[in-house]
A and B are shown apart, each in its own frame.
Chain A
Amino acid sequence: MRGLAGIAACGTSLASRPARSHPPAPYVPRFFTPIEWAFLTAACDRLIPADENGPGACALDVPRFIDMQMDTPYAFGAQWYMQAPFVQGPDNLGYQLPHAPRDLYRRGIAGMNAHAATRHGRPFADLAPALQDDLLRGAENNRLVFGDIPSSVFFDQLLANVMEGAFSDPVHGGNTGLGGWTMLGFPGARADFMDWVDRYGAHYPLGSVSISGETA
């Protein structure tokens, strides 16, 4: 797992990432522009901050996960019914916008940065954490207006992907070092509890393992 310095750096910019003992090539996003990437890394670290309970989203490479997902059919809306007409209705009848996840990110990030600029004169990534939290809460509660998408739709998309990135198998680019699973106490791909099912009250001794065989 990366040290705290690395976590803090993640929220600022790619260039300022400190080298690790075995420095991997820095991840270069394919979908997100540098401005969008700065937003994404900053927002991820507010949604899952590093604290005494475990690593934050950046240490888990959640932004990388989201960028990699943007290249999958899911991000193009290929798994959603996307036939017109798009008619808006009550929330409980579900998502009714013509936008796939890629569009939601493009529009949503622009909307968040526009709000940050209007209110504070700076992009989201350059704000203090408390101000970032305010804007995120505003989006969550649909109090921000972003052109043609409700801000809560963007927020829900982002939060869902952040959770996926922190807690899915590392094969998808997030959950680095199995840090998400370890903090949760989830053994990952062990998937065999024949000997443990009726050891009532005993602490499960094995750590997490991934599909590729990485352990933590």
Chain B
Amino acid sequence: MSDDARRLKPVDVVIVGGGWAGSIMAKEMTEAGRSVVMLERGPDRSTASEGAYPASIDELEANFRYKLFQDLSKNTVTIRNNSQQTALPYRRMAAFLPGEGVGGAGLHWSGVHFRIPPDDLRMRSRVIEKYGARFIPEGMNLQDYGVTYEELEPFFDRAEKVFGTSGEPYMINGKVVGKGNVFSPSRSDHFPLPALKDVYTAHLFRKAAEEAGFHPYSLPAANASRQYVNPYGAQMGPCNFCGYCSGYACYMYSKASPNVNILPVLRQHPLFDLRAGCHVLKVELDADGRRATGVTYTDPDGKVVTQPAELVILTAFQFHNVRLMLLSGIGRPYDPVRNEGVVGRNFVYQNVTTSNVWLDRGIETNQYIGAGGGGVAFDDFNSENFDHGPLGFVGGSPVWVNQAGVRAIAAAHSGGPPGTPRWGSAWKAGMIDTYRHSLRIDAHGSNMAYRDVYLDLDPTWKDAYGQPLLRMTFDWKDNDIRMNRYVVDKIGDVAKAMGARRVNLTKREFGRPFDTRQYQTTHLGGGAVMGSDPGTSALNRYLQSWDVHNVFVIGANAFPQGTGYNPTGMVAALAYWAAHHIRTTYLAHPGPLAG
């Protein structure tokens, strides 16, 4: 394909994907004086057009016709629960919602913006230190990231300042300064903005969690609690809790997005060239497969062209990054039978379940009010914050009320309490009661990596360009189901303290397979993980391919296993971390940064 492709003028850096990771890397590389081409398969997008009020406040278009999401008709994945099954195409959007277009999913995400718990970065070592190697279940590929919290801290700080994150700190430079998360590590500085106000349900949850003996804190949110100007000079307005957050471009310019926080500045830069409507087919390698020479893509006219570059940075989102590596022959594909090879290994998801609490009919929970990243959480059962010894499982789960705004069609679909019919007068009564007087509490748990849960290329189905779809082999495992069930029981304690009229605790059930039809999260991870052992990681600790040194791969694909937190704070910090090492070391001395 590349032989007859048109060759364009070489550039220093080509970046594949225009989301958070791509925009951060492009900003950093232009600051380093390099010419950058950013290729985005979807359309160009901006808050001024996609976020224009009131046309943007349209639940049907945003959440049910997936206006801003990936065009599945062109490209999707296949999914199966185990390697004995035939994986089938993910034909309609449901379980997860990949983004597309300039800004990626960052244009319309929710904004919960976390740092990763330090223990999660060295999970394997930590579990062995605390409980011994035999504590790790058979078949679980538990790993360390190969980077520490102390090393990443400046980059978490950088990302929060760029995103304009609102939050309440607990500890700064070792001193307790506020009422933030008592389990969170020390910070070098405050959040750039104070925490968002609690919506009513979060306020009730905070009181009840305290009464139940837990340690509630304000979710760190990349939804600006006040007006803000970030270090690039980009401006944000104050979030008004509009309730149209997840799935929408923010008409208030309050939700951090590449489109608001980075691209307005980047677009002006003479070294930056953004090309929308350009779908990258593969990374081109030299004859011995050790160096990338550029990428081949289809341009908006459908012509196949090759863009030569010195450095290729993949930022196409977790599973698209893995697929591009497989399609290009970068790194050894994972073989689950022999547990060898690395590309596709350690594919993970988010182990989330949502429980419901009904309050007295005199209390209106106003679920339509909310900000995507706002809410109140407690971490008493997250990470290594509790003793797993007697419990016998690895991993944990924050618990929270994260009322991002529940809109009318979604409320109609959720209906009434379990046992209520899905239609007719009984549905109507149950749904109205539920909408007006209930709240939702999530257990947003980690998902561990397993030997037989992985990504590879599908043998049957192809995308619109004739390339094989990515195949996901995924199911929930006993360890993770037990973790979820343990933590969800704690929600029962909080609901009791809230004076609940009725509670529905939603737990993962043993033997019930992963269901692609139900929305969970778009927090997919792993598949091309970072680490210090080329035998178990596709990328070194700088997110550089072990095999092809001028390819860096930035995204949640780098997570060796899932965490209880949402991924983007970590993805952004890893982008700044990798960029720092590219700028300070790699550009002067191109070659492997670790070895």
Contact = CB atoms under 8 A, between A and B. Distances in A.
Interface string A115-146: 00000000000000000010010001000000
A28 interface: no
A19 interface: no
A196 B76 CA distance: 41
A27 interface: no
Contact of A94 (B85, B241, B460, B517): B517
B199 A172 contact: no
A56 to B, nearest CB: 9
Interface string A164-194: 1011110110000000110111111101111
A93 B80 contact: yes
Given A164-B60, A187-B368, A194-B241, A79 B432 contact: no
A158 B88 CA distance: 24
Nearest to A57: B423
- Give chain B's interface residue range (CB within 8 Å of chain A): 35 or more
B90 A89 contact: no
A24 interface: no
Contacts of A164: 60, 64, 409
Nearest to A160: B413
B203 to A, nearest CB: 6
Interface string B455-490: 000001110000000000000000000000000000
B411 interface: yes
A186 B411 contact: yes
Contact of B240 (A80, A89, A192): A192
Which of the listed residues A93, A94, A193, A200 has the most CB atoms from chain B within 10 Å of its own CB? A93
Which of the listed residues B66, B80, B91, B242 has the most CB atoms from chain A within 10 Å of its own CB? B91
Interface stretch (A5-13, A30-38, A42-50, A102-110): A42-50
B146 interface: no
Contacts of B72: 79-81
Main secondary structure of the interface of B (DSSP, over half): loop
Nearest to B240: A194
A3 to B, nearest CB: 19
B85 A89 contact: yes
A46 B198 contact: no
A198 B517 CA distance: 36
Contacts of A92: 81, 513-517
A164 B363 CA distance: 27
A194 B517 CA distance: 35
Given A184-B408, A189-B57, A204-B366, A197 B241 contact: yes
Interface of A: 46-49, 51, 53-54, 72, 74, 77-83, 85, 87, 89-96, 133, 136, 140, 159-160, 162-164, 166-169, 171-172, 180-181, 183-189, 191-194, 196-198, 200-201, 203-204, 211
Interface of B: 53-55, 57-60, 64-66, 71-73, 76, 79-81, 85-94, 197-200, 203, 238, 240-244, 251, 363-364, 366, 368-369, 407-409, 411-413, 422-425, 428-429, 431-432, 435-436, 460-462, 513-517
